[in-house]
Amino acid sequence: MKVVMINDCAFVGETLLKYMPPDIGKQHIKRSRGLWSKTFGIAYKILRAKADVYHVYYLLQDCYIASKLGKRPLIGHAMGSDLRQQLKSKKWSPIVRSNLKSCDKIFVCQPTILEDAKSFNETAEYFPIPFDPKLFFPKPFPQDKRKKQVFIASIHNFAVKGTDKFLRALALVDAPLTVKTLRFGADLDKAQHLAKKLDLEISFIDRVEHDKINELYWESDLVLGSFGVGQLDTVAIEAMACGRPLIHSIFKEFFPQCPLERLETIESATKLISKLLVDEKERERRVQRQLEYVNGAHLAPVLAERLMKVYSELVSRDGFKN
């Protein structure tokens, strides 16, 4: 069997390919955000690709092109914003709807968008975001530091990630701490201005390569993910896998087994941050629960095996000729 993956999001495709059996043919067609690359360039690469199954990330132009070029069986993988936002937009809605209907299989990376996908394609199912256990695994906490270090792992997008709320919550914490966060996001300037106004001891750092982000988790005593839309994203999963206590707001009705909370107020976040910074036993309990969860639900080798079964079922159907 040969598999062609098209595009990617948060290294999901790359991670799954890494753990597929060695006898499987693999091709990963990537693109940039440049005009040529994301239009004619990607179309040419898809046209030339030959495989037994095609798996495309985001239900946008890449998926539409693959469908129109007759690449089947075709899996469309919804990554969140394509169904949360683009499905409702005038520009992208016709393409997203067409992709939902034409794909032979639909995956969604968040259970919060599953029903939207199922309303167009009954094959839709939730496929958890994987983490690479060779990159993300527990290490001992840093010792003998005068101040605890907190890492805000999400980009600065106040509406989606809610990092402004975390900045305000940190400013109310009594325990001595330093903060690291990414110099990236639509609201970066606002975040820098807010942090200065709140008099936080904070460093804004450049984004690092995916295989180096683990070092930022390991050097931290606490990781803050998202205060936003209630989904479980990649940084949250990878932080938990690194054995660091994570604070990240989720919708509990969609993630009943996940040992995280839904954050309601800045004050409740402050209280939780303070407790995890000063209470070593609570920190250890939280780390253990989080590790049990991610290893049970998001481990890449297990999810790659599950994916191979889906591929085999699709390929065994009659009528798919490329």
Q: What are the per-10-residue average pLDDT scores of the chain (322 residues)? A: 95 96 95 83 94 95 95 94 81 92 96 94 97 97 86 95 97 95 96 97 95 96 93 96 98 96 96 95 97 98 98 82 52
User: Residue 178: what are its φ and ψ, rounded to 5°?
Assistant: -120, 155
Angle at 3 between CA 75 and CA 6, to 5 degrees: 60
DSSP 288-311: HHHHHHHHHH-BHHHHHHHHHHHH
Cα(230)–Cα(177) distance, integer angstroms:
26
Per-residue pLDDT, 295: 98
Helix ranges (DSSP H) in 104-252: 114-118, 163-171, 188-197, 213-218, 234-241
CA distances from 216 to 46, 91, 176, 220 (A): 36, 38, 19, 7
Residue with tokens 């990607």: 42
Number of Cβ within a 10 Å radius of residue 184 = 15
Per-residue pLDDT, 214: 97
User: Residue 185: what are its φ and ψ, rounded to 5°?
Assistant: 125, 160
| Residue 216: closest CA among 264, 178, 248, 188 | 178
CATH second-level architecture of 148-297?
A: 3-Layer(aba) Sandwich (3.40)
Residue with tokens 């016709």: 94
Where do the structural domains in the chain lie, given as residue ranges?
A: 2-130+299-315, 148-297
Cα(2)–Cα(54) distance, integer angstroms:
9
Map residue 281 onto helix, strand or coil.
helix
Asked whether 183 and 207 are in contact (CB, 8 A), the reply is yes
Characterise 96 by phi-psi region: left (phi > 0), alpha (psi -120 to 50), beta (else).
Answer: alpha
Q: Extract the tokens encoding 200.
A: 């936080």
- CATH fold match for the domains 2-130+299-315 and 148-297: yes
Q: Give 29's contacts (C-beta < 8 A, 6+ positions apart).
A: 4, 5, 6, 7, 42, 45, 46, 49
Residues 2-130+299-315: name the CATH superfamily: Glycogen Phosphorylase B; (3.40.50.2000)
Cα(281)–Cα(218) distance, integer angstroms:
18
Per-residue pLDDT, 320: 61
Asked if residue 73 has a cis previous peptide bond (ω within 30° of 0), the answer is yes
Q: Which amino acid is at 33?
A: R
Residue with tokens 């809605």: 93
27 sits in which H/E element: strand 25-29
| Total-model pTM | 0.93
| Residue 117: closest CA among 107, 128, 130 | 107
Cα(67)–Cα(119) distance, integer angstroms:
19
